[in-house]
Structure 1
Amino acid sequence: MKRIYISLPISGYDLDERKLCAICAEKQIADRYPNPLQVITPFTVCPDSDKPYSYLMGKDIEALLECDIVCFCEGWQKSDGCMLEFAAAKIYKKEIRFV
């Protein structure tokens, strides 16, 4: 089973709204890609969001590197965290998709 990491802007947004955005992206991925995929989001990686930003990003990058595919949500180009994830995905030659 392939694993897909969803990258989405979080900092500066309402956390509950971002969680809903991640759920919506999971549904879009399930509709587009019928093969079984394990979907990983920043919220599944670190449900405890009161940790320091550096800790959260470190865990996100660790999870991304364990995935086969990285999917970027709208607005990713304006997010430092997503840009870091994009760079890691390119460096490690992950399959990149956009939703």
Structure 2
Amino acid sequence: MNKKLVYVAHPFGGKESNRKKIDMIMSDLVLNDVKHDYVSPIHNYGYVYLTGDDYQKGLDICLGLLGHCDVLVLCEGWNMSRGCKGEYEFADKHNIKIYTLDLWKTLNRI
């Protein structure tokens, strides 16, 4: 069985409080849904968080990962996050299915 690869986008801004929130969300998804594989750009690339003029370079690295994924899941507050909005626009342009976290969890009974 080929599992779909799911990219989980969460606001970050380099804030430890956001890292803790996505840690909990990813734990819930990974432990309670064996039908999908999950990736989080914060977990993959958060250690090289870029700001200022380098911000777009950091986002482009994340979008490279998103390009390999089948699904984008947007966490609460995504619409207030520059990065998450960029991920949404990329997914929309590249026909990657998009869900909010609550809808994704409901549809997949997580």
SS where residue 27 of structure 1 aligns? helix
Q: 1:63: which partner in 2? A: 65
TM norm structure 1: 0.80
Q: Does 1 or 2 have the higher relative contact order (CA < 8 Å, sep 6+)?
A: 1
CA 1:3–1:78 in 2, change beyond 3 Å: closer, same or farther?
same
Unaligned runs of 5+ in 1: none
SS where residue 62 of structure 1 aligns? helix
Runs of 4+ in 1 over 4 A off after TM superposition: none
1:87 aligns with 2:89: yes
Unaligned runs of 5+ in 2: 102-110
SS where residue 48 of structure 2 aligns? coil
CA 1:98–1:54 in 2, change beyond 3 Å: closer, same or farther?
same
Aligned-partner residue type, residue 60 of structure 2: G
Q: Which has the higher helix share?
A: 2
CA 1:36–1:6 in 2, change beyond 3 Å: closer, same or farther?
closer
State whether residues 12 and 42 of structure 2, in contact with CA within 8 Å, keep that contact through their aligned partners in structure 1.
Answer: no
Identity fraction in percent:
19
TM norm structure 2: 0.73
Q: Distance in 1 between matches of 2:43 and 2:68?
A: 14
Alignment of 1:1-99 (within 5 A): 1-11=3-13, 15-30=15-30, 33-37=33-37, 39-46=38-45, 47-50=47-50, 52-99=54-101
Highest Rg: 1 or 2?
Answer: 2
The total of aligned residue pairs comes to: 96
Aligned-partner residue type, residue 20 of structure 1: K
Give 1:15 deviation, angstroms. 2.1
